Chains A and B, each alone.
Chain A
Amino acid sequence: MAKRVGVDKWLFGVTVLLVFIGLLMVFSASAVMAQDRYGSPYTFVRSQTVAAVLGLVAMIVVMRIDYRRFNRPIVVFPAVAITTLLLLGVFLLRDSHNTHRWIRFAGTFSFQPSEIAKPVLVLFLAWFLQDKLQSIRDWRNTLMPAALPSLVFLVLILEEPDLGTALVCAAVTGLMFYLAGAERKYFGYAVLAAAPVLYFKLFHVPWRRARMLAFLHPEADPQGSGFHTIQSLIAVGTGGIRGLGFMEGRQKLFYLPQPHTDFIFANIAEELGLIGALAIIALFVALGYRGLRAASLSKDVFARFLAFGITATILIQAFFNISVVLALVPTKGITLPFISSGGTSLFITLASVGVLLSLTREID
């Protein structure tokens, strides 16, 4: 029966725990590098803490809002429009690392629009698909209009270029269509259409081609393109079962690139060992279980789609990120949700968990 029970305490607890572990590990992974680069070991952990506090506040605020308030065109359309504008905006602004992923405000505050694109896409699809379950076979009136904003987002994110986020968006979109009951042949068409783009993006963008080849043969160029992969595996292997101990990691000392962001899981495996790595994975599994449980027990279709989409976004990112660290898939630049250093990602992920928590209020 729908009634006001509390939010899902497991989901809440697991989220807070992940964020806390994330802060510790970001500090551990970045302290030496930050000291070297900015003169203070706290540079990264400070901004990460600010994002975590703001994110947790946002989560608690959003959690108290009835999720039905988001189920309105007056919320959905501006969200899609603003996200599109922000995604376009990054092309007009200064670039960082040769990529257009960021928008900066007065030097103190910057953020990544592609992070916002993920929850907005989930919101749009949940809103659009909720009434279309009967007509999902009608591709002209259902699949096409639903796929259009997703495609616009995908193309813009792909052009930033941020292949990782684009792939996460594509996977979430596909899963939500699958959940809505779209026919299998359309997934076939989508894969066929995406294959040449993916091939082009992977093998004709020079640095990605290098990464691809590095993934296939990391030992061929250990000092160059194979560096990421090899250093990451060295970190994981060094950790062994019990790890070297918190703050004791060595790979982060300028061997492991991006030890506090994309490769933080390698640092975790090195310092906390197999036990710590499995604990992190267990927390994500617990989060996934509670999120999917919310999706299956929710009372209305919108809530189900929303819960599923938010949970899937987090799990897919965690899965890809850990796979990259373990060299199971090529390097792609996907962060580990809650843990990797990155303010926008952390804030947005926590706010989306707030939505998830809001809809667990009505589950017995």
Chain B
Amino acid sequence: MELKGKKVLVVGLGKSGLAAALFLRRRGAQVTVSDLRSAQALSKEIPSLMEAGIAVEAGGHGLLTFRRQDLIVVSPGVPLSTPELVQVRNLGLPIIGELELAARFLQGNVLAITGSNGKTTTTTLCGEIFSAAGLKTVVAGNIGLPVIEVVDQSAVGAWSVLEVSSFQLETTESFHPQVAVILNITPDHLDRHGTFENYVAMKERIFANQGAEDYLILNGDDPVVQQAASRTKSQVLWFSRSKIVRRGTFLMDGMVMFRTSEQAKPIPVVPLVDIPLKGEHNIENVLAAVCAACVVNIPAEVVARTVASFQAVEHRLEFVASIHGVDYYNDSKATNVDATAKAIASFPGNIHLILGGKDKNSDYTQLNALLRARVKAVYTIGSAAEKIQGQIAGATTVIPAGTLEAAVDQAASQAVAGDVVLLAPACSSFDQFENYEERGRVFKQTVMARHKANEGASEGTNQGAGVWQSA
């Protein structure tokens, strides 16, 4: 794709929008960016853009700005239903996303991972296994590093391991991973995709361009994901916790096993006890990663070694500290009800759960059974607090805390030895924090401050080394 001299508009100045604009400019395009936020709000980004020779439209979208382009690149945060985008699409202007832009320049092989939950863990683990096997590997995508930023590092024979969200897949055309993984599909982001069917269709775009020589790895335990098998041309492999699959990874006699065909003898890859990750859903993530690694012929020993030494991802059921026998876990990345349910299910009981933030039109009543069985008390924060209280009242004690710091204080005062304090808010963070990372950091700082205050009196911190003890 020739960009020199082309007029390109980047809509939305998120991390990936910014990266896309700078990339386009480096390739000689005439770039404009447009964002609804005011010039003041964008004061950090604007100087570097101006310096690079990029025009900036802030505080709203101008229809004329949109019409004058050869190509429009949309950030994942921007809905395609934005009126200006609808208008120019009707005019026939090509509209693509950052991922699609990157896909057109990526060289070498692509491993793409999508799903409602567990993407980051699986992507990170895949990246580590591929690197450990001596393959030239870059990890990027939804994980925090825009794909467009690693395009220049990609080369023939190298692997790009990408975490892709449904938002990113929505605007792809030629994205063609050699290995694609769909971890699970649960209702999430319905505020954006409208219907569940739409959301499923978005996720399935991950294999739209795959052919018979490509691999599609699907969750054999997820009925929605299973249906994808009948709609693909690629070779399907499965991973399952409960079934012995024809091709792919499964559990048997306490081992993760892999086989390439129904006739092939299953190869034992890694014992379950060696998996350091906490939580049932993490077993699925490991099964998916092992499948992806084995299908590209990475030796079982390398996979086993990497899985056994894998450390958890920040903000994903991350162990923070143990104070007076109470364990604190940070799952700030649980921004929807399903992720929170999985977080709760990772512990047998005695949970003090911090819930709340900005509501995403979610149905919190789905948590009630788990709350009743495993949660001692819920501490609500943020703007969704009242709605949550209304929907879960009766299932467990609900204590309105307002802020995250207050929630940690209250939970700490209620919890007794053997209990777990868990931040898994089921909401996005945007009402009180910049993003979920900041929310997680504030949680960890608050907990660590309490921990320091206790030090000398209680046991030492577990943070840092081998914190993922199994129960």
Q: Which residues of A contact B (CB under 8 A)?
A: 1-4, 66, 68-69, 71-72, 130-135, 296-297, 299-303, 361-362, 364
Contacts and interface: CB of A to CB of B under 8 A. Distances in A.
Please classify how large the interface on chain B is, using the bins under 10, 10 to 19, 20 to 34, 35 or more: 20 to 34
Interface stretch (B20-28, B249-257, B292-300): B249-257
A264 B200 CA distance: 57
Given A1-B471, A297-B348, A130 B242 contact: yes
Nearest to A75: B244
Interface string B371-390: 00100000000000000000
6 contacts: A1-B272, A2-B272, A66-B251, A299-B242, A300-B241, A364-B348
B343 to A, nearest CB: 14
Given A4-B272, A69-B244, A300 B221 contact: yes
Contact of B244 (A1, A72, A132, A301): A72
B273 A301 contact: no
A161 B245 CA distance: 40
Given A1-B471, A2-B241, A133-B223, A68 B275 contact: no
A297 B253 CA distance: 18
A187 to B, nearest CB: 20
Interface string B332-351: 00000000000000001000
Interface in B264-312: 271-273, 275, 277-280, 282-283
B414 interface: no
Majority secondary structure, A binding face: loop
Nearest to A363: B348
A301 B348 CA distance: 17
Contacts of A68: 242-244, 250-252
Contact of B242 (A296, A301, A361): A301
Contacts of B221: 300-301
> Quick one: which of A66, A135, A301 has the most chain B CB within 10 A?
A66
B226 A131 contact: yes
B280 A2 contact: yes
> Quick one: which of B226, B241, B470 has the most chain A CB within 10 A?
B241
Contacts of A132: 223
Given A3-B272, A71-B243, A299 B283 contact: yes
A66 B253 CA distance: 5
Nearest to A69: B244
Interface in B172-229: 221, 223-224, 226
A303 B280 contact: no
A61 to B, nearest CB: 14
Contacts, number: 69
A136 to B, nearest CB: 10
Contacts of A303: 242
B86 to A, nearest CB: 33
A72 B470 CA distance: 30
Nearest to A127: B243
Contacts of B250: 68
A295 to B, nearest CB: 12
Contacts of A302: 242-243
B467 to A, nearest CB: 14
A301 B251 CA distance: 14
Given A1-B280, A68-B252, A301-B221, 12 more contacts: A1-B470, A1-B471, A4-B273, A68-B243, A68-B244, A68-B251, A71-B243, A72-B243, A296-B373, A299-B280, A302-B243, A364-B471
A92 B403 CA distance: 75
Nearest to A361: B254
A133 B226 CA distance: 13
B242 A2 contact: no
Nearest to A301: B242
A297 B370 CA distance: 11
Contacts of B373: 296
A72 B246 CA distance: 10
Given A68-B244, A296-B373, A299-B241, A3 B470 contact: yes
Given A2-B283, A4-B254, A68-B252, A134 B278 contact: no
Nearest to B274: A3
A72 B250 CA distance: 13
A71 B278 CA distance: 26
Contacts of B240: 300
Nearest to B254: A4
Nearest to B348: A364
Nearest to B226: A131
A1 B251 contact: no
B289 to A, nearest CB: 16
B276 to A, nearest CB: 9
Nearest to A65: B253
Contacts of A4: 254, 271-273
A353 B350 CA distance: 29
Given A1-B471, A131-B223, A300-B221, A71 B283 contact: no
B103 to A, nearest CB: 32
Nearest to A296: B373
Nearest to B373: A296
Contacts of B244: 68-69, 71-72
